[in-house]
């Protein structure tokens, strides 16, 4: 019982701190120019819990960064794609030439696999193979492994990231 009370006290303290931060922000954004910021903030606060649940905290923070600084987001995204290796120079140059529109990337990163659609594929006797890198920083590989193993042969490759290869020889 004492542990439960202590946990409730910690959670209550966190909630109080969050509430104070929100109120302080609202007071700072009281002028007409800040109405847009406040509307954007409200939109974030409504969506963030679902983003975290769906994509994890890291991907959610990266998404939020993308809204603030697109160049930093693209650089961080590339870093995570090639993790644990450094980004090859030719990819940095190639990525710089990409359109600044990140909406397509967001759609891809937030894509939700539909269980019913996967089951339809299986019912048509189509075999699905899923390859995951143990050190993937773009998706949660363990979560993906647990989800897809009901529908597919899942290959969980150790010591590689999102691109599933050791490109030292490229």
User: From the first residue on, what is the mean pLDDT of each consecutive set of 10 residues in the chain (170 residues)?
Assistant: 66 78 73 70 75 75 70 75 79 66 67 88 92 89 92 92 68
pLDDT (0 to 100) of residue 53 = 76
What is the secondary structure of 117-131 as a DSSP string?
A: HHHHHHHTT---EEE
Domain boundaries, the chain: 31-109, 115-169
pTM of the predicted structure, to 2 decimals: 0.54
b/e per residue 5-24 (b: at least 16 CB within 10 A)? eeeeeeeeeeeeeeeeeeee
Residue 73 has a CB neighbour count (10 Å cut-off) of: 19
Secondary structure letter of residue 1 according to DSSP: -
Q: Note whether 130 and 150 are within 8 A (CB).
A: no
User: Which phi and psi angles does 146 have, rounded to 5°?
Assistant: -65, -35
Q: What is the pLDDT of residue 33?
A: 66
- Identify the residue whose tokens are 């202590």: 6
pLDDT at 166: 66
């Amino acid at each position: 019982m004492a542990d439960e009370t202590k946990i409730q006290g910690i959670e209550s303290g966190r909630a109080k701190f969050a509430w104070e931060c929100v109120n302080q922000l609202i007071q700072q954004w009281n002028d007409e120019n800040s109405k847009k910021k406040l509307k954007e903030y409200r939109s974030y606060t409504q969506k963030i819990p679902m983003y975290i649940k769906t994509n994890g905290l890291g991907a959610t923070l990266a998404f939020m960064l993308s809204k603030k600084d697109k160049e930093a987001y693209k650089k961080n995204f590339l870093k995570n794609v090639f993790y644990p290796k450094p980004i090859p120079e030719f990819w940095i140059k190639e990525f710089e030439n990409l359109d600044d529109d990140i909406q397509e990337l967001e759609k891809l990163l937030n894509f939700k696999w539909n269980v019913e659609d996967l089951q339809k594929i299986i019912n048509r006797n189509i075999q699905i193979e899923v390859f995951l890198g143990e050190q993937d920083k773009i998706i949660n590989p363990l979560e993906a492994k647990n989800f897809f193993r009901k529908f597919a042969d899942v290959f969980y490759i150790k010591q590689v990231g999102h691109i599933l290869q050791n490109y030292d020889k490229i």
